[in-house]
Amino acid sequence: MTAVYPGSFDPVTLGHVDIAKRASALFDKVIVGVYATPSKSLLFDAEERISLFAKSLEGLPNVEVRGFEGLVVRFAREAGANVIVRGLRSGSDFEYEFDMAFMNRKLAPDIDLVTFMTSQDYMFLSSSLIKEVAKLGGDITGMVPPHVNEAVQAKFGLPVTENS
């Protein structure tokens, strides 16, 4: 069975990597879908977000990272997937996913949603908080893969810091 894991991933965090890895253990194939044009202000363009996520998953043979535009259900269909994977951190994630799942079910009744509960270590991680902290010179080591840390610091014109 093939699943898609869609998101903005601006940038990918260890929380996202954890969900992708756990999904890869459950499904035959997982296609991470990097949404090219989310209604958020972006730090990284689509190509950068795709390559940062792909590098985070090196060595996982059944996971692939692709960009997409438009509806998630259409992306899933085109990818031959009948499952959408999402991660849940909190009650607010749940409410958002609940609404989205019902909308997606209306659009595509044949595609189901599977949610993974975040791992405790990553429950407070979000891409937006990480960007905020890094921009202010805070240390994001242990929240994102090392190559993502470097890319974030480079965007803000900062040297890579640890424990600042």
Catalytic residue numbers read 16, 40, 89, 127
Map the footprint of ligand ADP across residues 125-154, applying CB under 6 A: 125-127
Least CB distance to ligand ADP at residue 87 (A): 2
Binding-site size for ligand ADP (CB under 6 A) equals: 17
Spatial CA neighbour of 67 closest among 45, 43, 87, 82: 45
Determine contact, residues 32/20, Cβ cutoff 8 Å: yes
Cβ-Cβ contacts under 8 Å for 117 (sequence gap 6 or more): 87, 88
Binding of residue 68 to ligand ADP (CB under 6 A): no
What the block records as the tokens of 101 is 């799942």
Binding of residue 89 to ligand ADP (CB under 6 A): yes
Binding of residue 93 to ligand ADP (CB under 6 A): yes
Binding of residue 56 to ligand ADP (CB under 6 A): no
Q: Dump strand ranges (E) for the chain.
A: 2-7, 29-35, 63-68, 83-88, 112-117
Please say which residue, 93 or 150, places its beta carbon nearer to ligand ADP: 93
Binding of residue 33 to ligand ADP (CB under 6 A): no
- Please give the C-alpha separations between residue 49 and each of 25, 46, 70, 78, in angstroms, as whole numbers: 23, 5, 17, 21
**Member of 81, 122, 140, 151 binding ligand ADP (CB under 6 A):** 122
What the block records as the tokens of 152 is 């974030």
Return residues touching ligand ADP (CB under 6 A): 7-9, 13, 15-16, 19, 38, 86-87, 89, 93, 118, 122, 125-127
